[in-house]
Amino acid sequence: MRRRGLALATASVAALLLPGAAAAHAVSGIDYRFPLPVWLYGLAAGLAVLLSAPAATLAGRATGTRTSGDLYGPLRRFHLGRIAVALASLLLVDVVAGGLFGPEDFFENPATIVLWVDFWVGLGIVSALVGNVWDFVSPLNAAGRFLERTLARRGSSVTPYPTRLGLWPATVFLLVWSWLELVWDPGKEPRTLVLILLAYIAIQLLAMVTFGTEVWLARGELFTVVARTFARFAPLELYVREPAGECRALLCTDEERIGCPSCWLDAASQERGIRLRPFGAGVRREAPLGPGGGTFVLALLATVVYDGFSQTQTYVDLQSWFVDRSVWLAVHDSFLDTVLGAAIVAAFVLAFLAVVGLVSRLEHASLADAARRYSPTLIPIAAVYFVSHYFLFLIYAGQFTTAAVLDPFGREWVPDVEVPWKGVPGGLVWYLQVGLIVWGHVVAVFEAHRVSLGVLPGARQAALAQAPLVLLMVGYTFLGLWVLGQVLAAA
């Protein structure tokens, strides 16, 4: 309750210097009055998404995807991957050292500012708007692959990964990570955060040794799974011209393996390729998500929605309603936040299952098959909402990064940022958010229609079958803009 109230009361970026407010991601420092009620913007955006459904129907069976020529050839001579891994490894050392021995202030310590702001927010934004960069710069992924090669030379074998587990390990890690970010205040303390990071690295390396690095990266390493999931929306596409051998991640079955970093790295350099594609095309061009994949996407979306919702007056009123009826909850406010966050995630999952249940009846298919087909079409929605919610936080809070990284021990080696720049107009922020949200939902509608065309014989039948899903997306549009609008108005 204390942290949420502080986020609502924040009136300038200077208040971000308080660790409790840092995790709330309030768009502080903006003074903006909406020319029209927020609900009217949401209604107009929802209608735009709704009207995209008949537009997708008129597009007919245009299921092909236009792509550019290869972009990898000119880049491979620069060995950018090795350079990036080396730089990321040095940054990791800086983060660990600063977290253990540096200042306690959130924005002066490299552990908190880099991990919570630059890494987590930057990972999602770059993966969604550019492509999967993380797989090729991650020190953890590089260490796991090196360790696997070393053990393989000694004759070590791996344990088969249980198919039914799918992406459930990554989903659990996502929920825990979101809880650390949004609920548990000690998760914003540098030393605690670094100890959690070191434990996470140890768990991940052990799992890679047990199940195989590529198999585990695709299912259990949270940040790799996040990057690969959002990258399905991105315009950069990895592909292998002439695949040879089995996909070590045990995902790909097509002759042309698209969007699989494992196959891409295993291929000879002359067989690797990178090309441009339309945003959202990876939703249907890449391998299926696997068991638990739909829940992972919905959890990505729901946790960001919860982050925004927790900064609204409506959330504070909801908390007060419970606290007024329970003294115990007034003392254990973190437990209440945990329950409310879990309830939002559960509500998103149940709403999707209910809608997909209707779709499955219209398609004469099983609920499991329909959920597996349509859950990837929610990735554009999760991606644009992540970008819309976090981009201003990255702009404002990211200004503290240079000083924190260059002065990890707080010795005043470089000057601190006393007055961060906060000149982004509120109107620009709002209209960017509206544009991003509508764009992502329209892409999702078109991709859902293309998926439906693979099951039903005609465009009209496909449009009818996906109508419940379109209505759900319209609801997501309205809800997302309402939450973003409430946060912006309260800042």
The mean pLDDT value for 451-476 works out to 78
**Distances from the Cα of 185 to the Cα of 83, 171, 335, 337, angstroms:** 35, 22, 12, 12
pLDDT in tens, 79-106: 788 899 999 999 999 999 999 999 999 9
Span of 36-45, 125-134, 205-214, 347-356 with lowest mean pLDDT: 36-45
- Kindly state the DSSP code that residue 154 receives in the 8-state scheme: T
In this prediction, residue 50 has a pLDDT band, given cuts at 50, 70 and 90, of low
Calpha distance 279→260 (Å, rounded): 17
**Amino acid in the structure at residue 331:** V
Among 19-28, 37-46, 381-390, the least confident range: 19-28
| Confidence category of residue 25, pLDDT binned at 50, 70, 90 | low
Span 167-191, pLDDT tens digits = 999 999 999 999 999 999 999 999 9
* DSSP code of residue 66: -
Model confidence at 438: pLDDT above 90:
no
Confidence tier at 216 by pLDDT (50, 70, 90): very high
Q: Name the more confident of 57 and 10.
A: 57
Residue that the structure tokens 């710069």 belong to: 137
Residue-averaged pLDDT of the chain: 84
Exposure string for 113-138, b = 16+ CB within 10 A, e = fewer:
bbbbbbbbbbbbbbbbbebbbbbbbb
* % of the chain at pLDDT higher than 90: 51
Q: pTM (2 decimals)?
A: 0.89
Q: What is the pLDDT of residue 347?
A: 94
Distance CA 307, CA 388 (A): 12
Q: How confident is the model at residue 490 (pLDDT cuts 50, 70, 90)?
A: low
26-35, 93-102, 440-449, range with the lowest pLDDT: 26-35
Average confidence (pLDDT) over 472-489: 76
> Can you give the pLDDT at residue 10?
32
Distances (CA, A) of 148 to 206, 216, 242, 364: 11, 12, 25, 45
CB contact at 8 A, 7 and 185: no
Q: Is 314 a residue whose pLDDT tops 70?
A: yes
Mean pLDDT (whole number) for 130-140 = 95
- pLDDT tops 80 at residue 199: yes
For residue 383, count other CB atoms closer than 10 A to its CB. Answer: 30
Q: Give pLDDT, residue 425.
A: 79
pLDDT in tens, 225-273: 999 999 999 999 999 988 877 899 988 876 668 999 999 999 888 889 9
Q: Is the pLDDT of residue 53 over 70?
A: no
Question: What's the average model confidence in pLDDT over 325-340?
Answer: 88
State mean pLDDT over 395-419.
89
H helical segments located in 102-252: 110-112, 120-129, 134-137, 139-153, 168-182, 190-211, 213-217, 222-231
> In the structure, what pLDDT confidence band is assigned to residue 357 with cuts at 50, 70 and 90?
very high
Domain chopping of the chain, boundaries: 2-490
Q: Mean per-residue pLDDT for 385-408? A: 92
Closest Cα to residue 234, out of 286, 289, 295?
286
Check whether 440 has a pLDDT greater than 70.
Answer: yes
pLDDT of residue 312: 83
Residue type (1 letter), 361? R
Q: What is the pLDDT of residue 214?
A: 96
Cα–Cα dist 427/235, whole Å: 28
Residue 219 contacts residue 165 (beta carbons within 8 Å): yes
Collapse the DSSP code of 242 into the 3-class scheme (helix H, G, I; strand E, B; otherwise coil) and give the result. Answer: coil
